[in-house]
Amino acid sequence: MSDTHDTSVPDQHGPSDAVAGPHGSTSDHGEDHGHDDHAHTGEALGPIDWPMWGVGVVGVVAALIIVAGFALATNFSFIA
């Protein structure tokens, strides 16, 4: 596989100097074709926010209680 693009094929994203040269050249700064030639690293994740996870769990439990209340109030049944 070649590291260069065929210059006879038009670039579908518009004019680009990265199409004429090899990947990783100084003219290609990652703006073309979704490439990131600088290989930036991601940031580390922070600690787990236990109070917010607790609030999320309480919210899910409250939603299930509300759904159960609607099911009881409407005599919902899976049997038709």
Contact partners, residue 25, CB within 8 Å, separation at least 6: 18
Q: Report the length, in residues, of the chain.
A: 80
CB 39, CB 24: distance < 8 Å: no
pTM of the model: 0.44
φ and ψ at 32, to 5 degrees? -105, 135
pLDDT tens digits for 10-58? Answer: 556 665 555 555 555 555 555 556 655 666 777 888 999 999 999 999 9
Per domain, the residue ranges of the chain are 1-37, 48-80
